[in-house]
Every structure is written in structure tokens, then in C-alpha cells.
A and B are shown apart, each in its own frame.
Chain A
Amino acid sequence: MGKVRFSLLNTGVETLGDWNPQLMREIQGRLKLRSVLFTLLGSFLGQGLFLFWRYRTLELRLGSCETADFLKKSQECVQAGTHYFFVNWQEWWLQVFTWGCIFLMFGLVVGGSFMLISDLSQEDRQGTLTFISLSPQTAQTILVGKMIGVPLLIFLAALLVLPLHYGSGLLAQIPFAKIVCFDLWLLAGSFFFYSLALLLGLVGNWLSGFQSWLGSAGIFMLLLLLKNSSIYKNSADWLYAFSPTALLPYVTNTFEQNGYGRELPFAHKNMVDLHWFTLPLGNTGLLMLLFALINYGLWSGWLWQPLQRRFRNPHISLLSKKQSYWATTCFITCSLKFSVYAKPSFDSNFVYAKPSFDSNMVVVLMTHLLWFLLLIVLLLPHHQALEDWARFRGDYQSAKGRRQRIKDLIWADDSPTWVAIAINLGIAGIPIMAWMLVFPQGNRVDGAVGLLFNSTLILIFALFNQVMLLRSISHRNLWTTATLLGPVILPIFLLAIFGVQSGQWGESLFFLTPFAFTAIKNIAFMRALQIFLLHLGLITGLTWQLNRQLKRSGESTTQRLLRGDKYVEQG
């Protein structure tokens, strides 16, 4: 019997190892007796301390419900007769369950992300990743193996927490299916954040080990930020679809009891107002769950595109130009659908529930800008690739060559990105214009002009970034960050320092920031036209400079020698 069991185990191990060798390697490297014992001890000790902490917060545990003040009584006591109260243990278990869910989420998502970024950047630094990528295994196999294998000890600790998680939920009278739904959302969320962590691990080696702290702290802050559930009815609401705790009010029935006397953490009481286009997402938990699963699936899919590209070739741009056109369509469409004008629900906060065109437009333009800043980074070709393109393909003289150059600028990975950014701006502009038309009120002309200014400004940023990065410089990643964020932040900083507001002297500066939309109403047409011409002038100047630099980069050594350069590198 023992032999049969061993043989079955052996077959299982072999099958798992053949299915995913990376997963088996992680299991062998991590499941050492000492680490497992430490994890078991940590998990049990943590659970004990957690329960003790929750018990200590129950002030009326000693049976003093009769003498408690009204507030405490309503939270922690149940009235069984005219003068007879007892501690509301169901409510207490609900608190335990909710806090448990929150800790589980932070532990799984933040802890796992930290381990993944740290592991991948370490492999990248040591050079072991190169050997794995030289094997015939696909990027998916290796990275899925990493995703399941690296946080293995965290999964083990989480498995040990499950009895308490389900036990507390059931004692709080939460249906089993609802707890499973939360766990499903949490798993999908973990998959999304782990994909993000893998990408940060692959691209963040220039931060020399700091990326694991930075990445996981960023994810932690985002999840923490989303504990506030004000629904603004604009693109910012989209973030809730990425937070596993957004399902908690549906699981704990906070809406039904309308928060009577309750102080549950991450309560998301306003979630009921969440809309996606005309779809009232917040109405039911099931709709939220389905939406979150689709949302996680879609954006995890987009994260896996650069992951696969970078794993195979560390010197390739994160997204191909073709992928960027689809990604922009997806992103802008998804984000716009949250900027809707919907009838507010009965009990929601009136101020937040009545979205105005102006406030929504500002958020749309900000989201637009942030996406394009990210896109500039995602499309950025490696310096060497750009130089090689300029040397061998960028300067064809024939008509066919010129056609090839245009094709390259639209589709090729190693060509400059400004044409692709311009196309993406066009792609993003169409749904935004359509959204403005659909929105029932507001000055659409101002909106369209704001979008135009924003688009030309983004193109200026993209060209400036490319011009700066074509120079031969060290610390390229720092320069990328500085040349992208500098021009965005500097005018805003100047506006803040001088206290310039829309309608005042110096308001032209607004047109060099993403807030041009707010200054449009107060500026004369001719002045706006002048500033627009300035934008066009900057675009022309930067394009000319970029082409000049590309031509120089593409010169052969002979051409440089003939021009009389003092120093020409060998080769």
C-alpha cells in the first residue's frame, strides 16, 4: 500500500515537473524543512495573535452589555429581553472575517509581489535568467512557474489560514458561496498583481535591488488608498475594479443593513453607485465579480504581452507598435465608460453622485496624459536598436525606401516612436470625442480644444524624450524618467509657485500643462491660436532635430571621417 502511494506521489511529481520544470525547481528550492516549519509556526502564531487582538478590542466581552452606552451596545450587543443583553458574537465573527480578508489580501498580493520582483531581479542580476531563456521552454511556462512557485511559502501560510477564514465567515452567517466568490476575486487579483510584479522584476534592474521595495510599496499604497469608496463617476472609479476588497460589502451585506451601527473596515458603502457606461455594476455583487474577473483577465493579458517580449529579448521595446494601437483602444474605452452621467442612488452622497462635464473632462484628460506617458515608456526602443535602424534602414533615398521608412515608423519595433504616438493620439481622440457627444451637458467645443492641446502637448513630450535619449548618455533609465516627468511637472510647479489661476496674468502657462482645458474659457481665440501655433512650432522643431540626430546616428564611419570628426570609433 505504502509502495503504491509512493509510486503515485512519484508519478505526480514527474507529471508536475514535466508540465512546468520551473515550478518544480521553485518547489525544490523553497520547500526546505526549516522554511516550512518557520512558515507553519508563523502562520499559527499570526492567527493566534490576530484572534487575541480582535478579542481585546471587544470591550463588552465581560458581559457588561446592560450598562454599556448606546453606541457600544448597538455595535456589540444583542437585546434578548427588555433588560437582557448579551454579546453579539455573530457581529464579532464578522469583524474577524473582514479583518482576516484584509490581512489575507495584503499578505497574498503585497507579500507575493515583493517576493516575485525580488526573485526575478536577482535572477536577472546573476545572469541565470539568460540560461532559462536559452531553453526551448516558452516564456509563459517559465513565468507561470515563477508565479506559482516563488510565493509558495506565502501560499502555504494562506492555506493554513483558510479554516479560520471560512470558519469565521460561516459563524458570521455569511453563505459559503459568497466566501468562495471573494476568494475567487482575490485569486484573480493576485494573478493580475503578480503579473505586474513579474514585469517590474524584469524591467526594474536599473534600480539595483530597490525595485522590490518600491514595487510592493506602490501596490500596498494603491490597495490602501482604495479603502475609501467615494464614487466620483469618472475614470478614477475604475481603480476599484482592481481592489479585491471592493467585493467585501457584498459578501458582508453592508448595503442591506445599511451600515446600521457597524464599523467594518474597507466597507465601500458607496460602491452601489458604481456604473460602467449604463451598466449599474454596483447593484449586485455578482455583476461586480464578473466585471472584476473580466477586467483582471483583460489587463493581465495586456501585462503578459511585454512580459513575453522582454523575457525573450531584454533589449526590445515593451510593446510593439501594433500592440500599442490595440492597448490604447482598450484603455481609453474602458476608462471612459466609468465617466458617465448616471442617476444617483437614493442614499448616496449627493455631491459625488452628480458628475459635471468639466470635472469629468479634467479627469479624462489626466487619464489620457498618464496613459500616454506610460505608452511613451512602453514603446521606447533600445538606444542600440534605434541607432541600428538609423544606420541600416532609416535613410533610404529611393521612393521604395521612403515608403519602407513610413511603414517602419508605423509598425517596426526599432524605429522612432513619435509617429506611433501620433497615431495612438488619434485612436484615443475618437472615443473621447464620442464620449463628449454622449455626455448630456457641458461645453463640448472647450472639451475638444482641450483634447487637441493635450494631444499636441503629449506629442511634444514624446519628441522631447526621444531627442534627449538619442544622445550618448549613461543612466538612460533615469534620463527617461527625468525627460518625461520634468516637462510635465515643471509648468505645474511654476503655476503653483506664482499662484497663477485661470483668468489671471500668465495663464498661457496653463497651455503647457495638461490643464489647458480649464483655461480655455478665459482666453481670447487669437491668443489660443497663437499658443497652438507655438505647439506646432515646437513639434516641427523637435521633429527636425530628431531627424538630424537620426541621420547623424546612421552615418557610417567613413562618412564621419570625411566630415572631419576628431575621434571616430573603430569599426
Chain B
Amino acid sequence: MDMSSEIAVRTQGLTKRFGRHVAVNELDLEIKSGEVFGLIGPNGAGKTTLIRMLATAEQPTLGDIYFRGQLLERNQTNADLKRLIGYLPDDFPLYEDLTVWEYLNYFARLYQLRQPRRRQRLLDVLELVQLTHKRRSSVASLSRGMKQRLGLARTIIHEPILLLLDEPVSGLDPLARVQFRELITVLREAGMTIVISSHILSDLAELCTSVGIMELGFLVENTSLQQLYQDLSQQQIQISTLGDLPSLELELRRCPHIEEWQVNPDMRQVKARFSGGQQEAAELLRSLLAAHIPIYNFQCQQEDLETIFLDKLDHKQVS
């Protein structure tokens, strides 16, 4: 069987109710092995509930979850399946009375890693999350970014095949965010299947191979990132001029590939939606220069994930 087409996680009619509120509604999902699946949606869309159910931290009301084709049994220890999963929630507690090494060693033992493999794994993971120098420090003495990296180290210590990350970069400073993103990239390259929910969509765009958009407990969009861009993303051209804007707008009106544009008078800048290809863009630039418009910036851009989410999918609030 082709490894890339193997299904790592599959849910069937997955439903979770809290009181009468349906947090996740008959959700059918398939995530292939090695994929990085980004979950986006407004607050209360059911992302965290879905991740918690996949992590076995929450029992579904209805429906089934399969890991590599194996059914997750209700009210059972599911020891074999739990070994396949690593879960890092948004706000995770740590044991502050232990040192970094003791903490990781404890979880490695919980996941039944034996010596000498355990020691080697601890060293590798500490190096990966750049905490080798802190191995003897107490957990309480770590910064928030370090604690987040330690949390990730704890999540991957047993080499899970599925990594579930719920808002992993929330509350981190920009540098810590970059470091964390790099770590995820390394794990992605190592072939781990990752489900990640984040409100920083630029991060998801960089990391994910596919995305799922959730709303009111439903999975309203489930596609590869490439397909999403192809279907919903339009090209934009950003043009800045030293001259006056009306003459620029006059030229734009003549171009058949420009559908609409937004003007920023302060910056003397126009952002236009462009339906043409590279040839047509070159033609437009040539026509603007021929009309003696003093252009100092002409930039073709693809619409980003955030714009698609906010504009195309008509979501008001990004979580």
C-alpha cells in the first residue's frame, strides 16, 4: 500500500453535545498519514472539542474514531492506540516540582519507553526543542516559550504518529513563535501526521498541507491548501505611484483583467484584483509606463489564507 495514501485518522458521524448545544455535529473526517491538517474556525466552532475527542480526552456522544483503521473503544484503556497519539492543549499544566529531565523521563516511562532507548530519546527530544542546557533546571524556572517547547517535547517523547496541537502558539512572543513553527516544520519533515488549530492563519498557511474550516460544529470545508488557493484565492496587484491617483485609475479602467480595486490615497497606492496571467500583468505594466505614470512599485500577490477565510467564506471572527 502506498504510505502517502494511508489514512491516519478517520471519524464517522462524530458528535459531541454539551447540554443541548451540539459542539461537533456528525463530523466525517479523513486525514492522511504525513499530512499537516490545519483547523480554523470562529470561537465556539468545535475545534477544541474535536481535538479533545481525537486525543481521547473527551468521549464522543455519538460516532466513531479510527486510528490507522483501528476503532477507538469507549470506556476502555485503549493502550495501543494511546501510544500513537500526542496531545498538546492550549493551556497545559506542568509539574513544577520536577526538573526538565525528570519530567520528560516520567512521561517517557508512562509511555513505556525502556532503557537505553529512553535515554537516547530524551537527549534527542531535548536537542530538538533546544532545552538540552536546561535539563537539570526545575520546570518552574522556565520561561513561557521554554515551557511550551517542553510541552511539545513531552507530546512527542513517545514518537506518536499523530500529533494534536490546540492553539500551540497562543500567548508566545514573536521569537518563541518562530522557534515553535520551525519545530513543527522539522516534525512535518519527519513524516508525523499533525492536526493543528491556530488563530494565526499565516502560521497555518506556512505549515499545513490541508485545512478544515469548522463552523457551528460542522466541517464546512475540508480540502488541500493547494486546492483552496486554486478555488478561492485571486491574484492581486499592488501599484504605488508618485503621481496622481485619478490618472492611474483611468488606465486601470481600460484593462479588461482588472475587476475592482481599492485606493489608499495616503500611500498613493492601489490594490487591484487581477484575473489575468503573467503575460497580461506585463502588458498592464507596459501600458502604465507608456501612459507616463510614475510607478515605483508594481507587485503581483496571491490572496492569503486570512483573506480567503474572512472574505470568501464570509466568517466574521477568526478564532
Contact B21 A14 (CB under 8 A): no
Interface size class of B (residues with CB under 8 A): 35 or more
Establish whether residues A21 and B77, one from each chain, have CB atoms under 8 Å apart when the complex forms.
no
How far apart sit A21 and B111, CA to CA, in the bound complex (Å)?
9
Chain B facing A: main interface SS: loop
Q: Of all chain B residues, which has the CB nearest A571?
A: B22
A262 partner residues in chain B, CB cutoff 8 A: none
Chain A residues positioned under 8 Å from B112 (CB to CB) = 136-137
Closest to B77 in A: A138
Which of A25, A137, A316 has the most chain B CB atoms closer than 10 A to its own CB? A25
A29 contacts B25, C-beta separation under 8 Å: no
Kindly supply a per-residue 1/0 record for chain B positions 1-44, scoring 1 wherever the CB is within 8 Å of any chain A CB and 0 otherwise: 00000000000000001111111010000000000000000000
Check if B225 is an interface residue, CB within 8 A of chain A: no
Contact A387 B59 (CB under 8 A): no
- Which of A106-114, A126-134, A496-504 contacts its partner? A126-134
Q: How many residues of A contact B (CB 8 A)?
A: 36
Report B77-115 CB contacts with A as 1/0, cut-off 8 Å: 111101101010000111101100010011101111011
Min Cβ gap B228→A in Å is: 26
Given contacts A29-B98, A571-B20, A571-B25, whether A312 and B77 have CB atoms under 8 Å apart is yes
- Residue among B80, B106, B114 making CB contact with A24, cutoff 8 Å: B106
Interfacial chain A residues near B98, Cβ < 8 Å: 25, 28-29
Whether, in the assembled complex, B310 has its beta carbon less than 8 Å from a beta carbon of chain A, the answer is no
Report the separation of the CA atoms of residues A571 and B111 in the bound assembly, to the nearest whole angstrom.
Answer: 38
Contact A571 B216 (CB under 8 A): yes
In the complex, which residues of chain B have a beta carbon less than 8 angstroms from the beta carbon of A392?
A: 61-62
Interface: B55 (CB within 8 A): yes
Q: Please state if A569 and B106 are interface contacts (CB–CB under 8 Å).
A: no
A63 close to chain B: CB less than 8 A = no
Bound Cα distance from A84 to B38, whole angstroms: 94
B57 interface residue per 8 A CB criterion? yes
| B110-A132 in contact (CB<8A) | yes
**Chain B residues in 8 Å Cβ range of A571:** 17, 20-23, 25, 216-217
Nearest CB in chain A to that of B59: its residue: A313
In the complex, chain A residues whose CB is within 8 Å of the CB of B107: 131, 135
Known: A137-B110, A569-B19. A126 touches B55 (CB 8 A): no
Min Cβ gap A43→B in Å is 22
- A476 to chain B minimum Cβ distance, whole angstroms, is 12
A130 touches B57 (CB 8 A): yes
Given known contacts A136-B110, A139-B77, what 6 new A-B pairs fall within 8 Å (CB)?
A: A128-B95, A135-B82, A136-B77, A312-B76, A388-B61, A571-B25
Instruction: Please report A residues at the B interface, Cβ cutoff 8 Å.
Output: 14, 17-18, 21-22, 24-25, 28-29, 126-128, 130-132, 134-139, 309, 312-313, 315-316, 384, 387-388, 391-392, 472, 557, 569-571
Chosen A-B contacts, 21 in total, with CB atoms closer than 8 Å, are A14-B115, A18-B114, A22-B110, A24-B106, A25-B98, A25-B102, A127-B93, A131-B92, A131-B107, A134-B85, A134-B87, A135-B107, A135-B110, A136-B111, A137-B79, A138-B77, A316-B75, A384-B19, A570-B21, A570-B216, A571-B25
Could you tell me which B residues sit within 8 Å of A by CB distance?
A: 17-23, 25, 55-57, 59, 61-62, 75-80, 82-83, 85, 87, 92-95, 97-98, 102, 105-107, 109-112, 114-115, 216-217
Closest 7 CB pairs of A and B: A571-B22, A21-B109, A136-B79, A135-B110, A25-B106, A136-B82, A126-B93
